[in-house]
Structures are given as structure tokens and as C-alpha cells.
Chains A and B, each alone.
Chain A
Amino acid sequence: MASDKPEDAPEHCPGTESELAGKADSCAGCPNQAICASTPKVVDPAIPLINERMANVKHKILVLSGKGGVGKSTFTTNLSFALSLDESVQVGVMDVDVCGPSLPRMTGLDGEQIHQSNTGWSPVYVSDNVAVMSVGFMLQNPDDAVIWRGPKKNGIIKQFLKDVDWGELDYLVVDTPPGTSDEHLSVVQYLKESGIDGAVIITTPQEMSLQDVRKEINFCRKVKIPIIGVVENMSGFVCPKCTKESAIFAPSTGGAKKMAEEMKVPFLGAIPLDPRIGKSCDYGESFLDQYPDSPAHAAYMRVIDQIKAYVA
């Protein structure tokens, strides 16, 4: 279901935003035809400004999932830290989860505020080469709920893209909330012209997650975002005492690898559950730096290497 075809539109409606709106053959008989034909197509003035900012960004990667709580923000944080290991690489991290902005805490930037300068908003720097932007930095009190409907959420996302002075970036990694709604449509819309390199889709092994992730894959196809691949997170837990493995989120329908095969998208790898990942997020520390011996570390790096290879 596209977002700009009205409920009562005929089957081959070109969309209300299209240049053919009201004028295509399929518009004949549609109750909205006169409106569509007479409304001038206004280009959003923000788009050229966004394009200008994004011209300084070499690669844009979206981190998506249909499902909540699978580890999008955790993965975004670890991906960004890993990309920045080469100190000559500049990484920007944009958190468009407006209601549940987790990135400030995960990157150890809880309580920081953003500043305005004459070149725009300054993102908050974790290190010399990693900068973060999130609604989390704009709250008076971190417990304040951000109770915004879609249009207001879209507005802030537009500002993040238009007004933030990222400078020159090698990578802009965009963390998203779960679902396929306003935030996702807006990011895709605003970045249409400057282009998105691709999306990394995160899931956990069980069918309850996979069923939402298939929808997300179909969303990407519909809005024409290339899919870099699927990552299976929380894939098995190794008991620290007896070292035997248990499947906490059992892959009852074959897990992400099988789903990726069926949906014909690349499978980037599986990352096991290590309680230290969650703790690192809670304390805003880099898991990859702190625990290089964890099996999860090797798994992360294998996935991240494939992402780097894809966008290069």
C-alpha cells in the first residue's frame, strides 16, 4: 500500500504526488481527479538543502527491522564503533527513533546537549571521528515522553537531515524504530535524491520476529532501498558455567538464514547472545573494545566486514 494513493483511488492510480496526478488515463472516473489535476506540484524546499548536506556524505546505511527489541540500536552502535576504528574514517550516527531514542545511552553520551552554530546544529561527538544526533539530546528531562504524532516526527527527521552540520562523513548510519511507518517513509523520502547505499535488516531467530522482518524486506523492495543483508541477532546463548549452548529464541521455522534464502536476500551472519553486550549498552561502553575475546566479537566483525565490502 503506497502512502500517496487515496482510499478511493482506481487501481492504477499514479499517486497524488506524481506529475501525472489527475492526468493519467487511469484517473478517469476517480473522485479526486479534479483536485489532483489542479493542485500544483510543490517541491519541498527542504529537499535541496538536505541534498546539499548529504553531498558531503559518502555512504548512507539504514539499520532496520520490522520487529522491536532485536538489537537495531545495539548493532548500529557496534557498527559505528567498528567503522571508526580506522581513525581517518568519519562516522555519523543518526537516531530517528523519536519515542525511544537509545543511542545517547549506548554511545555513552547520556545527558549531553546539542549546540547550535552558524553552520547548523552540531552533533555530539563520542570520539574524534564518531558523531551522534538523537532526540535524546533535546529532552529537558530524559524521562519525558515524546508524545508526537507522525507529522511532528517527520519534522524532526527533516531537521536532522537538513540542519545538522555533519561535515564530511564517510558513513552516515541511521538507526530506526521498529515498524514501517512515518519515520521510515520520511527517511526514504528525504534521502531519495541523495540516495541510500542500502539497509541492514536485524532479526532474532524466532518466527515471531521473522514474520515482521519479511514485511520490512517487502517495504525495502517497495521503496527501492537496496538490501545489504539480514543479520540474525541473539542467535543462541552459551552458558558461562557449563559452556553448553541453548536457543533462547528458538528458530522454529529455520531462523534468519532460511528466511533470507526464501526472500532471496543475503544472510550476513549470526551473532550470539552475550550478556556483556547488554551491559555495555547500559553503561555506554564499546562492547567490541571491552571484550575482544567474546565469540560475539568475531561474529560482529564478520558481519561488519561484509557491510564495508558492500558499500565500498
Chain B
Amino acid sequence: MADGALANVKHIVLVLSGKGGVGKSTVTTELALSLVEQGKRVGVLDVDLTGPSVPRMFGVDGAQVHQASTGWVPVYTDETKRLGIMSIGFLLQNKDDAVVWRGPKKNAMIRQFLQDVAWGDLDYLLIDTPPGTSDEHISVAEYLKEYNPDGAVIVTTPQAVSLADVRKELNFCRKVKIPILGVVENMSGFVCPHCAECSDIFSKGGGEAMATEFNVDFLGRVPIDPGLTTLIEADGGSFVDRFTQSALYPIFKKITAKVVANCGDEVIES
């Protein structure tokens, strides 16, 4: 039975990691933008309540959420309305206010986000999560059960300390029966812009080895791009416009193609 706000969402993809700071929000953003480039209608739901990064990623920090008769209206990145965002970041009076909530209140907010946002017709809903395997993750898994999410993209950095946490996340997915669409190894190698020497700052290859070990797809390796921060945070224009010019775009095109294929959707060659 698929009723309610998510009834017209074709594919639901979670972006997870056991580890903090590996680039979940960044990968969610890059996936969303790649999907939009392919002509898909995309929604991004940010359930990281204490550290909501998604609004800033899309250059819509400070936007307000409106209510319509059908529910909360997501914040759209432009007039075409092909990319809608929802985050607690939009609901804070002052964006430096800490959201100091225990589990039950977080769960209630997540339920509202899943039930009360008027997403409309979407090809993909991407759900960005905080690190860990706690209230937010348990709640999302529970509330999404009836909608049969396509699965989870797992993000890691290559080093052992990250992999240790991400293996737990893979086991979490197995336990709550969320299919694993694949693993992205982020921050994998840094090419010095001065001399082109590649340094493995956070080691290399661990993500791929772990994907093989867990018998899940390896979606790709994303190097550290020092221009990424500037691309996201520069004044004028937006990441949305600049992303297709970035060095990471071809890499994400391939990753997105694999995710789309694993969701049983058609890959559009552009």
C-alpha cells in the first residue's frame, strides 16, 4: 500500500555511512544534480537534524518553507521545480541555533518530514542521513518500510577507521532489510594542483575491498577535489549551475548511471 506524501515517488534512495564527515551530504548533492541533468525530477530530504548541511550545499540556505493544503512545500532550487529540498535547516529561526533534541523528538520530526511534505511527482527521493545507526536511521527504516525503498548508497573514505564504522552500517542495512545499491569511496586520493603528485591522504582502496567483501556493488572512487569547497560556497551563481563544469561531474555521471541501473530504472545516455 502506497498512500500519502510519498505515493508518487518512483524511487527512494538513502545515503548512509556509519562514519561522520565522509561526504554523505556532498555525495547526495552530486547524485541529485547528476539525476537532474538526466532529466529526472528529484527531491532531497535531509534528516540530519543536528547538523543539516543540505540547504547550504544547494545554495538555498535561509529559504523559508511554506504550507500548502497538500502539506509543506519543499524549497525548489529554481523555477523549473525539478529539484526540491526539505531540511530542518529551513525551519530554524537562527541558523546558529543548536537543535538539542533527544530521540523521541527527532523521530517525530522525521515522521513529519516523510508524511507531511508535498513532494508531488518525483522520479527520485534522496534521503541524506547523519552518521551512525541510531534513532534517525531506525525511524527512517521503519517509516519507509511500506514504500519499499530501492536501497542505500553507502559512502566511505578509504581508511580503516572509517571502514570500521561503515561495515556496521552495511550490517544495519542487512538487519533492517534495506537493499544496498553500492559503495562510494570518497576522498580517495589527492592530486596536488602544483605538481600533480597524488597523495593518498586518507589511504586508498579500502572502500572497494570492503564492497567486494560484502558482495555489494562498488559504485566508484571519488578523489579529493580542493576546488569543491569553492564550487559549493563561492558567491554568485550556484553549485547547481557550476557542477556540470567541475572535474567531479564525469565521475558522478558514471556513479549515477550505476545507481539508476540498480534501481531498475533506465539510464539516459546524454
Interface residues of A (CB under 8 A from B): 1-3, 66-70, 73, 98-100, 102, 105-106, 142-151, 153, 177-182, 184-185, 204, 206-208, 211-212, 214-216, 218-219, 222-223, 237, 239-242, 244, 246-250, 252-253, 273, 275, 278-279, 281-282
Contact = CB atoms under 8 A, between A and B. Distances in A.
A261 B41 CA distance: 42
A150 B103 contact: yes
A5 to B, nearest CB: 11
A242 B51 CA distance: 36
A239 B197 contact: yes
Interface in B98-118: 98-104, 106
A147 B101 contact: no
Contacts of B56: 207-208, 211
B203 interface: yes
Interface in B26-59: 50-51, 53, 56-57
A211 B95 contact: yes
Interface stretch (B5-13, B120-128, B132-140, B249-257): B132-140
A218 B97 contact: yes
B246 interface: no
B229 A206 contact: yes
Contacts of A250: 226, 229-230, 233
Residue of A73, A106, A211, A281 contacting most chain B CB atoms (<10 Å): A211
Contact of A145 (B106, B161, B168, B192): B168
A145 B100 CA distance: 24
Which range contains the number of B residues in contact with the other chain? 35 or more
B179 interface: no
B233 A100 contact: no
Given A143-B168, A145-B172, A241-B197, A99 B233 contact: no
B200 interface: yes
Contact of A242 (B22, B132, B164, B192): B192
Interface in B11-31: 18-22, 25
Provide the main secondary structure of the chain A interface.
Answer: loop
Contacts of B25: 208
Interface string B149-162: 00000000101110
B171 interface: yes
A142 B164 contact: yes
B22 A69 contact: yes
B223 to A, nearest CB: 11
Given A68-B21, A179-B50, A253-B233, A248 B133 contact: no
Given A1-B100, A100-B18, A178 B130 contact: yes
Interface of B: 18-22, 25, 50-51, 53, 56-57, 95-104, 106, 130-135, 137-138, 157, 159-161, 164-165, 167-172, 175-176, 190, 192-195, 197, 199-203, 224, 226, 229-230, 232-234
Given A68-B20, A244-B195, A278 B102 contact: no
Given A68-B51, A246-B194, A147 B99 contact: no
A282 B159 contact: yes
A295 to B, nearest CB: 15
7 contacts: A67-B21, A98-B134, A99-B133, A178-B21, A178-B51, A208-B233, A281-B161
Nearest to B53: A208
A207 B226 CA distance: 14
Contacts of A3: 100-102
B165 A180 contact: no
A281 B224 CA distance: 20
B197 to A, nearest CB: 4
Given A218-B96, A240-B199, A102 B164 contact: yes
A208 B21 CA distance: 10
Contact of B226 (A106, A248, A279, A282): A248
B218 to A, nearest CB: 18
B192 A67 contact: no
A68 B130 contact: yes
A237 B195 CA distance: 13
Contacts of A241: 192, 195, 197
Nearest to A219: B98
A193 B110 CA distance: 34
Given A67-B21, A215-B96, A281-B161, A206 B233 contact: yes
A290 B212 CA distance: 33
Given A179-B50, A250-B229, A252-B230, A99 B161 contact: no
B168 A100 contact: yes
